[in-house]
Amino acid sequence: MKSIILKSQSPRRKELLSKMGYEFTVKVYDCDETMDKNKTPFENVKNLGLKKASINKEEDYGAILIGCDTIVVLDGKIYGKPKNELDAYHMLKALSGKKHEVMSGLAVIYKDYVYNLTEVSEVYFKDLSDKEIYDYIATKECFGKAGAYAIQGLGRNLIDHYEGSLNNIIGLPTEQLEKIIGEINGMED
């Protein structure tokens, strides 16, 4: 079994990778997450996953390097992590009663092999009253989450239904990652 390095400080990604049954090391580096205005959200998140996996790759050569970034997209606009309660309110109000996309840019680097893809899931929000939005914000769960909600937590109460990978919505497209790691582990050293 080849060693795995997860280049993310996200507790959700760590938890999902652990649930997959892999042992891994976490290494986090500063990464410029500025989006290119000339690219689509799909392309931007794909590039960001690759950028994260690529940081200091020479130092970690021979290990399986995993980089991932997840964004929420509504009508072509990217919703990142809320800066404060007002920002969280505006995000949740915008998502209320609508379908949005959750995109994860996943990159896996092993020696000279590079896998880079974007997984897309769709989330349908219930029509939310201001009271429901403020009550959710009061839990503080919205902070540190793209789109200001956590589907794996109390945020599930805001959602009517979703289509696609739940783990992708949480922050790591595990089904795709499993295929890639399986392919890499099948390679000769």
User: Which residues are catalytic, by number?
Assistant: 69
The residues near 186 (Cβ < 8 Å, ≥ 6 apart) are none
